[in-house]
Each structure stands twice: as C-alpha cells, then as structure tokens.
Amino acid sequence: MANKPSKQQPRTARLVAASALTVALGGGLVACGGGGASAALAPDVNVKNVAAQPAGQPQDQGRKAEPLKASKPTGLIIPSAGVKTDTMLDLGLDENQELQVPSVDDAEKPGWYTGAVTPGEKGASILVAHYDTAKGPALLRNVAKMKINDSIEVKRADGSTAKFRIREIQQVDKKDFPTNKVYGKTAGPELRLITCGGPIRDGHRSDNIIFFADLVK
C-alpha cells in the first residue's frame, strides 16, 4: 500500500467531490464542464435527502457485520447505477490540504482517500467518483438511480469484497459540506461515496451528493 498522507480531515466545505471537480471540491483539475463545454455535460441532477435505520440496530441485526482487516480497495460495483470497475485510484491531499479527485482523463475510475481506513475496516472509508466532467458523463452518470438499501460493493486486494448497504443519501451545497459527519469517527465499518450534483455554478457543480453506507457483509 502506498504511503498515506496525514489523517487530518480535508477542507471539504469546498469539497465538491463531484462532477468536473478538480480537487475534492476545491479547485485543481479541469472543473465540471467549464470552458464552453457545457453541451457535453450530463443533465443537472438532484436527489432527495433521505435516511433509513442504521445497520446493526435491534430491529436490523441481520445486517450487522464485523469489521474486516485492512486491505486496499481494487474495484467498485454499484448495480443500481450500472457501475462495475476493477480499478481504484489512490487519492491523497494536495498542497492546499484538500482532497484530490480523479482527473478528467480518469472520469470512469473511482478513487479512495488513503488518509482514511480501507473499506470494511472500522471507521469511515471515503470513495470519490465523478458524475460528469468537461468531457461529458462520467462513472456515476446514473447516480439518481441509487436508492436507500441499495448495495455498494468494494473489491479488495486480499480477494474479499466488502458489501455495504446505503443508509442515507444527502445532497448539500458545497459551501455547507458536512465535514465532521463524513470524516468523523464511527462505531463500526462505514462507507461514504461522494460525487457531484446540482446546477453548474462558475464552471463547477454547485453541490455534493453523499451516500452513507454500512458494512453488511
């Protein structure tokens, strides 16, 4: 596993980990469709904020799963969004201590923040993927199809697959990014998948769409 950057929280209030983002929402790559390329972008996307019972609660014991040992993520499967890839980028922090995001050329690849735990370990693991970029729709082009209780599967280097179930979906203006909620400590193994949404504002998607998911297998 590559050396991890400091485990401090990225400054994600600006983190639009999303659409043509360039850095976890702060600025750095070739943002979402600016430069007169708006015709190539995916449609504006908005999702309903919704939450379900956390996994492992008394009425939901069947979904509780024990933490897995550390193992680097190697792929991502989201059936409801038509995502199936055997690649995973390592994302760290840039010189401004902001979370990196996949480059425009890697728009079809998800990325894992190496400053967080690996998917399946106790704690919050962070994955980032684009909704669209200046070149058009990207890996999470079908993000609007993802619903509560849908599965997110993360392939791991040890040959196992960490299976998560979506518990909460939240769309927020990037200026109001819930940093502590996303990066804070958790009682068990959880996943956050971050992408973009909303309209284009100053060349970038205005919002973040965040999926909170619990390990169930």
Residue 40 φ/ψ, nearest 5 degrees = -90, -10
CA distance 43 to 4: 35
The reported pLDDT for the residue numbered 27 is: 28
Where are the domains positioned within the chain? 38-215
Class of domain 38-215: mainly beta
CA distance 2 to 118: 12
The reported pLDDT for the residue numbered 110 is: 98
Can you give the pTM of this predicted structure? Answer: 0.80
The reported pLDDT for the residue numbered 134 is: 86
CA distance 171 to 27: 19
Res. 202 pLDDT band, cuts 50 70 90? confident
The reported pLDDT for the residue numbered 98 is: 79
Res. 40 pLDDT band, cuts 50 70 90? low
**Residue scoring higher pLDDT (162 or 39):** 162
> Is pLDDT above 50 for 34?
no
SS3 string, the chain, reads CCCCCCCCCCCCCCCCCCCCCCECCCCCCCCCCCCCCHHHCCCCECCCCEECCCCCCHHHHHHCCCCCCCCCEEEEEEHHHCEEECCCEEECECCCCCEECCCHHHCCCCEEECCCCCECECEEEEEECCCEECCEECCCCCHHHCCCCCEEEEEECCCCEEEEEEEEEEEEEHHHCCHHHHHCCCCCEEEEEEEEEEEEECCEEEEEEEEEEEECC
The reported pLDDT for the residue numbered 47 is: 86
The reported pLDDT for the residue numbered 100 is: 86
> Is pLDDT above 80 for 26?
no
91-127 tens-digit pLDDT: 998 777 778 889 999 999 999 999 999 999 999 999 9
> Is pLDDT above 70 for 30?
no
Res. 63 pLDDT band, cuts 50 70 90? low
Res. 9 pLDDT band, cuts 50 70 90? low
